[in-house]
Amino acid sequence: MPEQYMLLMPHKVIGGSNALEQIEGLLKGKYKKAAVFTDKGIHNSGIIDYPLELLGLCNLEIIIFDELPTEPSCDEAQKVVDDFRRSGADLIVGIGGGSVMDVAKLASIAATDTYGVRDLLDKPFIGRKFADVLLIPTTAGTGSEATPNSIVTVPEKNLKVGIVNAEMLADMVILDGRMLKNLPQQIAASTGIDALAHAIECYTSNKANPISNMFAMEALKLIFDNIIPACEDPGAVKEKNSMLLAAFYAGAAITASGTTAVHALSYPLGGRYHIPHGISNAIMLLPVLKFNRPSCLKELEEIYDTVSKRNLNVRQEEKAEWVLNKISEIIRTLKIPSSLRSFGINTGDLEALVQDGMQVKRLLNNNKTTVTAEDARKLYLEVMQ
Ligand SMILES: NC(=O)c1ccc[n+]([C@@H]2O[C@H](COP(=O)([O-])OP(=O)(O)OC[C@H]3O[C@@H](n4cnc5c(N)ncnc54)[C@H](O)[C@@H]3O)[C@@H](O)[C@H]2O)c1
Ligand SMILES: [Zn+2]
C-alpha cells in the first residue's frame, strides 16, 4: 500500500430519484450561456429532451454540440474544444457516456490559444479551468464523472492515452437512472463490465489504499447485485440508479488508486482496432485476473467475504475461485464477447499488440504481478483462441 493517499472528488454530486429536477437550483442565475455536449446516438434516442427542458427553465442561452465522436482521438477532441471556445459559453453540460464526458472535461481546461489537447498529452499539468462543468452520465459506466481523467486515442501510437489533471474534476454531477432508460442492452452490459473492471482492478492495485478500497468494495457490492437486472430490464430504474452509483464509486476508486493490467492491455485493442472500451476490458478481465490470482488471494478473499452472502468458512483458494466464476457468469449471461475472434484479430497481430500494451507503463506499474512482454503475449494469445 502507498504510504500516502489522497481523496479528490467533484465539487457537488446529486443522485437518486428525481435528481435531474435539481438542475434549476444548481444553474439558475449563475451562468449566461450553456454549451450542451452530447452525441448523435444520445440525441436521437430522445434521452436528452427532458434535461434540455429543465435547462430551459434556467434563464440560460443554450447551444447544443451533438456531433461529439465516440472514443475520440486527440485531434477530434481539439475540434470540439475549438468550436466550444468560439461559442463564448461559460458552462459545459456534458450529457453522455465516457466519450462525451471526457471531451467536456477536456474543453473545460483546453479552451485557450496558449496550448492544445496534444500539448496536454505530454504536459497535462499545464491545464487550467476556463469553464464550469455539469456532467450527467448516460452509461454506468466509465465513472468519468468522478475522475480527473480524460482518455483520447493517439492515432500515430495506436493507443489510448489518459490525460490526468485535477482541474478536470467536475463542478457538478447528476446521477439519475432515468438517463439509462433506453440504453441498448449490449452497451449497458459492456459499460457495466467496465465499472466492474475499475472496481476490482483498483482493489487489487499496488496503489490500493483505505479510501480507494472503500469505494471499490461498495461498487463491487452494487454491481454484483444489480448489473444483470439493470441491463436486461429497461424499466429497472432502481437497479439502474444502483449501477450509476456503482460506476461513480468505481470512478472515485480510480482517482484514489488506479487500474492495472486489464486496462493497460485493453488500450491497444481500443487504440489500434477500435473495439469499444467496455468490450475490450471484458475480453481481458478474466485472463488478467487469473494471471494475478496468486498475488491477489487476500483481496479476492475479502471480496468474497463482503459480496458473496455465502459460507465464510471455506478455503481462501475456493473464495478466489468463486469471485472469478461469478465474473465469468456475469459476462456469459450478458453475452459480452470474451475473445478477439469475432473482431478478426489473430496471431498476425500479436507482436504489435504486445509492443503497444507494454507501453502502458502508467497502469502496468500498478499491477501486483509484474507483466513481462512474454506474459502479455500469453494473455493476448489466450483471448485469440
Ligand atoms: N475519464 C475516465 O475516467 C474514463 C474511464 C473509463 C473509460 N473512459 C473512456 O470513456 C469512453 C467510453 O465511454 P462509454 O463506455 O460510456 O461509451 P460511449 O460514451 O463511447 O458511448 C457508447 C455508445 O452508446 C451510446 N449511448 C450512450 N448512452 C446512451 C443512452 N442512454 N441511450 C442510448 N444510447 C446511448 C452513444 O451514443 C455511443 O454510441 C472511452 O473513450 C473510454 O476510454 C474514460
Ligand atoms: Zn475503463
CB 252 within 8 A of CB 143: yes
Closest Cα to atom 30, ligand 1: which residue? 183
Query: Does ligand 1 lie within 6 Å of residue 150's CB atom?
Result: yes
3-state secondary structure 131-191: CEEEEEECCCCCCHHHCCEEEEEEHHHCEEEEEECHHHCCCEEEECHHHHCCCCHHHHHHH
Position 17 confidence tier, pLDDT thresholds 50, 70, 90: confident
Tracing cell 463490465 back to the chain, one arrives at 193
Pocket test for ligand 1, best of 38, 39, 142 (most atoms within 8 A of CB): 142
Give the distance (Å) from ligand 2 centre to CA of residue 53.
Answer: 31
- Give residues whose Cβ lies within 5 Å of ion ligand 2: 194
Position 3 confidence tier, pLDDT thresholds 50, 70, 90: confident
pLDDT tens column, 33-55: 999 999 999 999 999 999 999 99
Tracing cell 465516457 back to the chain, one arrives at 98
Position 189 confidence tier, pLDDT thresholds 50, 70, 90: very high
pLDDT tens column, 325-359: 999 999 999 999 989 988 999 999 999 999 999 99
Give the distance (Å) from ligand 2 centre to CA of residue 363.
Answer: 12
What are the φ and ψ backbone dihedral angles of 94, each rounded to 5 degrees?
Answer: -95, 115
pLDDT tens column, 283-302: 999 999 999 999 999 999 99
Kindly tell me the number of DSSP H helices and DSSP E strands found in the chain: 16, 8
* CB neighbour list of residue 79: distance below 8 Å, 6 or more residues apart: none
pLDDT tens column, 233-252: 999 999 999 999 999 999 99
Give the distance (Å) from ligand 1 centre to CA of residue 98.
Answer: 4
With 0-12 / 13-18 / 19 or more C-beta atoms within 10 angstroms meaning exposed / middle / buried, residue 340 is buried
Q: pLDDT at position 182, please?
A: 85
Q: Which atom of ligand 1 is nearest to 100's Cα?
A: 19
Range in 2-6, 21-25, 214-218, 240-244 with the lowest mean pLDDT: 2-6
Position 385 confidence tier, pLDDT thresholds 50, 70, 90: confident
Query: Does ligand 1 lie within 6 Å of residue 59's CB atom?
Result: no
Closest Cα to atom 2, ligand 1: which residue? 144
Span 218-236, average pLDDT: 96
CB 288 within 8 A of CB 262: yes
Closest Cα to atom 12, ligand 1: which residue? 98
pLDDT tens column, 104-121: 999 999 999 999 999 999
* CB neighbour list of residue 263: distance below 8 Å, 6 or more residues apart: 197, 201, 281, 360, 363
Q: pLDDT at position 82, please?
A: 97
